[in-house]
Structure 1
Amino acid sequence: MQYKIISLFSGGGGLDYGFEAAGFDTSVCIEMDKWSCRTLRHNRDWTVIEDRIENVSSKEILEKGKLKKGEASLLIGGPPCQPFSKSSYWFNGDTKRLNDPRANTLEHYMRVLNDTLPSAFVLENVFGLAYKGKDEGLQFLENALDLINKNNNVNYSFKWKVLNAADYGVPQIRERVFIVGHIDGKEFTFPPKSHFNPQKNSGQISIFDDLEPYTTAWDSIGDLDLVEKVPLKSEVGGKWGNLLPYIPPGENYLYHTERGEGSEIFKWRSRYWSFLLKLHPDRPSWTIQAQPGTSIGPFHWNNRRLTMREMARIQTFPDNVEILGGISNIQKQLGNAVPSALAEVLGKEILEQFFDKKNSSTITLIPNKKKRYKRIGFNNSIPNKYLEMSAVE
Structure 2
Amino acid sequence: MTNLNLGFGHELVVDNFAGGGGASEGIEQALGRPVDLAINHDAAAIATHTANHPGTEHAVADVWDVNPDEATNGQPVGLAWFSPDCRHHSKAKGGRPVSKSVRGLAWVSARWAALVKPRVIKLENVEEFLDWGPLVKNAKGQLVPDPARKGQTFRGFVRALKRHGYAVDWRILRACDYGTPTIRKRLFLIARRDGLPITWPKPTHGDPKSPAVQRGTLQAYRTAAECIDWSLPCPSIFGRKRELVENTMKRIAKGVMRYVIDSESPFIAPPGGR
TM-score if structure 1 supplies the norm length? 0.53
Alpha-carbon distance, 1:13 to partner: 0.9
Deviations 1:200-256 (A, max 9, x none): xx24437667111110112211xx112x243x6876414645xxxxxxxxxxx9xxx
Alpha-carbon distance, 1:42 to partner: 1.7
Map 1:363-374 to 2 at 5 A.
Answer: none
Whole-Å separation in 2 of the counterparts to 1:272 and 1:235: 11
Query: Structure 2 residue aligned with 1:213, among 204, 209, 220?
Result: 220
Query: Structure 1 residue aligned with 2:240, among 230, 237, 240?
Result: 237
Whole-Å separation in 2 of the counterparts to 1:35 and 1:86: 27
Question: Could you tell me which residue of structure 2 aligns to residue 79 of structure 1?
Answer: 84
Map 1:1-393 to 2 at 5 A.
Answer: 4-23=12-31, 24-45=33-54, 46-63=56-73, 68=75, 71-88=76-93, 90-92=94-96, 100-131=100-131, 134-149=150-165, 156-198=166-208, 202-205=209-212, 210-221=217-228, 224-226=229-231, 228-230=232-234, 236-238=239-241, 240=243, 271=247, 275-276=251-252, 376=268
Preserved CA contact (<8 Å) 1:4 1:25:
no
**What secondary structure does 1:30 align onto?**
strand
Whole-Å separation in 1 of the counterparts to 2:253 and 2:66: 40
Task: Considering fraction of residues, name the structure with more strand.
Answer: 2
Alpha-carbon distance, 1:166 to partner: 0.8
Whole-Å separation in 2 of the counterparts to 1:172 and 1:36: 23
Whole-Å separation in 1 of the counterparts to 2:40 and 2:70: 14
* C-alpha spacing 1:209/1:191, structure 2 compared with 1 (3 Å): farther
Alpha-carbon distance, 1:279 to partner: 6.9
Whole-Å separation in 1 of the counterparts to 2:153 and 2:186: 14
Deviations 1:118-150 (A, max 9, x none): 21111101111124983234313212113322x
Task: Kindly indicate whether structure 1 or structure 2 has the higher relative contact order, using CA contacts under 8 Å at least 6 residues apart.
Answer: 1
Alpha-carbon distance, 1:43 to partner: 2.1
For these two proteins, the number of residue pairs brought into alignment is 239
Preserved CA contact (<8 Å) 1:80 1:102:
yes
* Identical counterparts, % of pairs: 22
Preserved CA contact (<8 Å) 1:167 1:214:
yes
Question: Could you tell me which residue of structure 1 aligns to residue 3 of structure 2?
Answer: none
Q: Which runs of 5+ in 2 are unaligned?
A: 1-8, 133-148
Q: Which runs of 5+ in 1 are unaligned?
A: 150-155, 242-252, 254-269, 284-300, 302-371, 379-393
Tell me which moved more, 76-85 or 205-214. Answer: 205-214
**What secondary structure does 2:95 align onto?**
helix
Alpha-carbon distance, 1:10 to partner: 0.5
TM-score if structure 2 supplies the norm length? 0.74
Whole-Å separation in 2 of the counterparts to 1:375 and 1:177: 31
Alpha-carbon distance, 1:20 to partner: 0.2
What value does the CA root-mean-square deviation take over the aligned residues? 3.3
